[in-house]
Structure 1
C-alpha cells in the first residue's frame, strides 16, 4: 500500500473534520488522512474557557477574513475570524451549545434534505452529548462532547432571569426541549475539569494514537485532484513542498463555509462563468457553489451598570488567582464563559418559532485586566446585543484569485432584506424592556448604545447600519438539497461528482436558531454513519411537560 494512499482524505480538522476522522477510524481497517492548514490545539489560551476573549482574534489561531464593503451597512468591512488550528472554530469560539429549534430541521427536510428532519437528527445530538443533565429521550450522557451549565455567580444571571419573567417572557429549564424558546441557563462545551471541549479535545486527540489515522498540521490543500467527474485525491503544500495524497474511496471537504467552496472552485467545480474568469479549467459546472451565504447579524445594545459586573473579576490580583484556580482545580470564573443568558424570543407572538437571540453579558468583550494605581479599571457595562436567528438576507463567496493562499471574497450582504431591519428594531425594543424591568433595572444604568433618545424606526435603522456586525456563524455556501442551486445531496455527496463530499456548516440549507457549532458536529456525526452505512433510526421524543400515554 502506497504511503500517500488512503481510504479517505479529509481536508480541514475543524468542528466537522475532527469528528469525521475520529469516527471513520473506529474501523481499524479504514485508513484516513486528515489535513489541517493551521497548527495544534493545546495552547493554554485555547483550553481555558475565558481565554476565548483573546483567542478569537489572536494571529496564528485564525483565518483573518474580512468582508467586502457591505452596502447596507454604510459600506463597512467586517472582520470574520475563523479557526485555523486543530478543532477549527470549536477551539476559539464562545463554547455556547445550542442545537437549534426542532422546526429548523423539519424545514431542512421540506427543502429537499430527506433524512435531516428533527426526528432524524435528534439521535445524533444524543450520541455526541455527555450532558450534565444525564441520559433521557432528549439528552445523551456517554458521548464524546461534554456539555455543562454556565456559572450563575459573577454573571448576574438570576437578576436577568427574574427581569425577563417579570417582563412577560417565557422561562425555560431546558432550551433544548425541542421548543427552544425562552430565557434559561446557558450550556457550554466545557468538560468536568473546566477545560474547553473542542472537537480536537473531545474527538480527535483521543483518536490520534490510532495507527490508521494520519494527521498533518500546517498542510495547506491546494485543490482536489480529479479524473473526469471523480475525485481521486488532493494536492497540498507541506514543509514548503507540493505533495499529493490519493483517496481510494473519497475526498471529504470540511474546510468550513468559506474554505470548502473556495477549494471546490479552485478544483474546477463551481459556477462555470466565474471559473473561466479565474482561468480555472471547468471540471463540473455547479452554479450553487459559494451562493446562499447566510450569517446571524448582531446589533449592539449597551448600558452603563452598577459596580457589580464581571469587571470586578478582572482586577489583576483576582484574575491571577482565578487562572491558578482554573489550572489546578478547574473551577472559578475563568473556567466558564461571561454570558449572563442568551434569551431566545419571538418579536411577534404570531411567529411559529423565535426569531431573535439576545447576547447578554455583564462585561464588554474588550474589557481588560486592571489594578488600582497601575492600570485604570474598565467602566462597568452591560451588553444585550440583538442577534437575528433567521435573517432573510443572503450573500456569496467568490474567488479573487486562482491561488489557495489568497483569501476568497466574502459578500455577506447583511440587511439587504428590509424585513431584517424590522426584526432588529423589534429586538432592540425587547432588550430595552427586559433591562428596564426589576430586578435588572436596579443594576442597569444609562443606555449608551443606541441611546435612549434613539426611538424612531429611521434612527434605529441608522444605528443598525452603523454598528451591526456578525456572530461568526456563517453557513450555506455548499447547500444540501435538491434543485439547480443545491451543491450536495442529502448524503452530502457533491452533485454530479463521484468520490467527493462536503461535510461542514456550508451544507446547511438554512439557518438554525442559535449558535451553529452543535449542529455542525451533529452533521459530521450523522455523515460518518451515512458513510459507514449505519444510520441511526429516527426518533420522536416527548417534549418536556408531556406525559406518557
Structure 2
C-alpha cells in the first residue's frame, strides 16, 4: 500500500493550496486526489468562456437539489467544479473577500483565530495584486488579481447612477471601504488566462518529487485505525485502491463532498448513519447541516440603445476577439462581463451591506450570431440581485452508501422571512438605480420581473418562481466550539484524530461576497495550522 505523510482529498480552491503549501517542505510527501480530470482546456483558460464551463457536465458535479419547501417545490441546479482546480476552474473568477464584520462574526461564534485581523495577512500573502502592496493587498503571491477591463461594459453610467442614488463611493471593495459601486476584480493572470487555484498553486509545484497528483480518483471512504484517520480508499477506472497517511488526512472536497465522505466513513449524525446502515465512528450532529447559500434573482431590462455586449458576439467579431486572446492574451474575451460590482446597505441601521448587484451588459442566454444563419439577440441589460449574509440554513443527507450517488441537498432558500424582505428591498433599489441618470438613458423596458410586479406580495411570488443561487454554499462542516460544530478552530474533526477539513464547508456563515477568495485564504491558513502540528 502506498504511504504519504499527508493525503489531501479534493483539488479545488482549498485543496490545491494545501497540497502546494505542505509540499514546500521537501521532507513531507503529499498525495492530492481529485475525482475530476485535467484542466488543460482552452475554454477553462479563456476568461469569457466561463459562460460555457460552468454548465459543462464534463467539468461539474451538476447536482440538482431536492424540492425546495419555500420555492413551490422547485429544484435548484447546483454546479460545482469536478476538475483539477475545482470550482476555481469553472467559476466567474470574481475576487471578493467580504466585509470585515463577516470574519469578526466567525470569531464571535467560536472560530477563534479567524477574525478579520487574523485572516487579512493570509489574503495579502496569497495575492499578486494589480494595486501593489498596501495595508490591504499583497504582491508576489501565487494568485494574480486584475481589475475587470470595463471600458466596453457600460461601467461608468452605472457607477455614477449608484452614487447619485445616495450610496457611498469606493475604489476598493476589498479594502477600507467595502461598500459602494466599483470595478470588479478577477483572478486572471498577466497573460490573460484564468488564474485558477490549479494554475496558481499546483502547476508551479508539479516538479516537486514529494507531490503526487492523481486525477479521476474518486474517494470512497476514510480508513481508520481505532479513532485515528490513517488513509483513504479511492477508485480509479473501476479499481478500488487504498493509500495510507503517516501524519494526516485532509478533506478539501468542498461543501457537499466533504460531509458526504465523512458520513460514508461513519462520522456524522448517529441517527442518520444508523438509518443508512453505517457503523458510527463518531457522532457529530453538525455534519451536513448549517448550509448557507446566497439567493440570487436575475432582473432584465431592454437596452434603450444598441450598445450592449451582444455586438461583440457577432461571429466575425467574436472570432477576432478569440484570436486576440489566444495570441496576445488581450481583448474582450480576456476579461469578465461584469459592468459594475455594487455592494449596498439598503437599511442604514444595518452593521454591514446586505445586497450585491451584479450588473452585466448582456444576458447569460446570449449566444454567437451571424445573419442570415442566426439572428442577432435582443440588446438587454442584466442585473443579479444577491442577498448577502442571508439567514436561512439548509442541510444534506446521504441517498445511499454508494459514494457515486450524489447526496440529497436541501438549501432551504427563503426559509427565513428576513431573506425575502431583503431581496425585495434589493430589487426595488436596483430599479431605482437603473432609472437614475446617467444609467437611465441606457435602460429601456423592465422585462423581469416587469413593471406589472409592484406590491410586496407580487414581488414575493416572482422571487419564489425564479430565485436561484450565487453558487457560494458554505457551512456543512462548520468550525467553532459549540455542539453543532464539526471542526475546531484548527480545522480538526471532532471525535477523531488525524483528520481535518479545509475548504468552504468550515465557514460558520457565508461572507457577503463571492467565496472563492475566502476559500483560498482558508487553504493558506489551514496549511499553516497543519504545519504547526507537524
Query: Which TM-score bucket, shorter chain as reference?
Result: over 0.9
Selected match of 1:286 from 284, 287, 296: 284
Q: Is the 8 A contact 2:107 2:115 kept in 1?
A: yes
Aligned to 2:364: 365
SS at match of 2:432: helix
Shift of 1:168: 1.3
Does structure 1 retain, via aligned residues, the 8 Å contact 2:308–2:362? yes
Q: Is the contact between residue 303 and residue 449 of structure 1 (CA under 8 Å) also seen in structure 2?
A: yes
Q: How does 1:149-188 map to 2 (within 5 A)?
A: 149-188=147-186
Matches within 5 A, 1:345-424: 345-424=344-423
Shift in alpha-carbon separation, 1:161–1:101, aligned structure 2, 3 A: same
RMSD: 1.0
Partner of 1:34: 32
What is the TM-score when the length of structure 1 is the normalising length? 0.96
1:266 partnered with 2:264: yes
Q: Which residue of 2 aligns with 1:223?
A: 221
**1:24 match:** 22
Among 284, 296, 299, the residue aligned to 1:298: 296
Q: Give the aligned length.
A: 533
**Distance across 1 between alignment mates of 2:91 and 2:73:** 26
User: For residues 7-406 of structure 1, what are the structure 2 equivalents within 5 Å?
Assistant: 7-305=5-303, 306-406=305-405
Cα deviation code 1:254-307 (max 9, x no counterpart) = 000000000000000000010011111111100000000010000121100021
8 Å contact kept, 1:149–1:186: yes
Q: Any conservation in 2 of the 1:101–1:178 contact (CA below 8 Å)?
A: no
Tell me, in whole angstroms, the C-alpha distance in 1 between the residues paired with 2:177 and 2:287: 32
Partners of 2:228 and 2:74 in 1: how far apart? 41
Distance apart, 1:534 and its partner CA: 9.2
| Aligned partners of 1:425 and 1:460 also within 8 Å | yes
Q: Give the distance between the partners of 2:52 and 2:58, measured in 1 at CA.
A: 12
- The answer to whether the 8 A contact 1:102-1:178 is kept is no
Once the two structures are superposed, what CA deviation does each residue of 1:146-181 show, in whole Å capped at 9, x if it has no partner?
000001122100111111111111221111114411
Q: TM-score, normalised by structure 2?
A: 0.99
Instruction: Give structure 1 stretches of 5+ with no counterpart.
Output: 536-549
**Distance in structure 2 (CA, Å) of the matches to 1:179 and 1:517:** 20
Q: Which residue of 2 aligns with 1:541?
A: none
* 1:37-58, Cα deviation, whole Å (9 max, x unpaired): 0001110000000010000001
The answer to whether the 8 A contact 2:102-2:511 is kept is yes
Partner in structure 2 of residue 471 of structure 1: 470
Which ranges of 4 or more aligned residues in structure 1 deviate by more than 2 Å? Answer: none
Shift of 1:452: 1.2
TM-superposed deviation, 1:239: 2.6
Aligned to 1:446: 445
Distance in 2 (CA, whole Å) between partners of 1:73 and 1:363 is 27
Give the Cα separation in 2 of the matches to 1:225 and 1:391: 37
Other structure's SS at 1:206 match: helix
Q: Which runs of 5+ in 2 are unaligned?
A: none
Q: Please tell me whether residue 458 in structure 1 is matched to residue 460 in structure 2.
A: no
CA distance in 2, matches of 1:169, 1:513: 17
Larger CA deviation: 229-238 vs 159-168: 159-168
